[in-house]
Amino acid sequence: MADIQLGNVLTKEAMILDHMPFNSKEEMFQLLSEKFFEAGVITNQQAYLTALREREAMGPTYMGNLIGLPHGRCDEVVKSGIAFCRCSSPFLYQSCGEEGDVKYVFMLAIPGNQSADQYMRVLATLAGLLAKEEFVDQLDSVHSYDEMLALMKACS
């Protein structure tokens, strides 16, 4: 199997740097799902939000280390996408009974027709990157989409 290239699914239109801290995870869901809709990653924002909430009910997406990794899979996702939002300061992220401060959000949109294997490979590749200290340590120094692509490539 070919390696997953995260740069191929990082959605330029859904990358937000230095956003004000969110009042809630739901507020963040609304904004990033709207960005996915505007970018053509999803065809129905409400269906995708439902998929995000259903996934949240299954287990926490709070990763520790100031990282949230929400993800939704549904038929209204027409192409895989990763949204990235860096907040200017952390906000309280509550997920399936766990909570912690989150400053970096990587939100995945996965097509419903994508096999569970492909879905897990994208998720595992991203989680592996987020487990690398050298990657997370440099998230604050990213100032553009191209810099994020370069960082992902350098740390993969």
- The token duo for 26 is 């739901």
Handedness of CA 30, 36, 40, 41 (dihedral sign): negative
pLDDT bracket for residue 4 (50, 70, 90): low
Residue 2 has pLDDT above 70, yes or no: no
- At residue 61's C-alpha, the angle toward residues 54 and 134, to 5°, is 150
Q: What is d(CA 124, CA 108) in angstroms, rounded to the nearest whole number? A: 12
Whose CA is closest to 79, among 16, 127, 8, 128?
8
pLDDT digits (tens, 9 = 90+) for 147-156: 999 999 999 8
Cβ proximity of 127 and 71 under 8 Å: no
pLDDT, tens digit (0-9, with 9 covering 90-100), for 119-131: 888 888 999 999 9
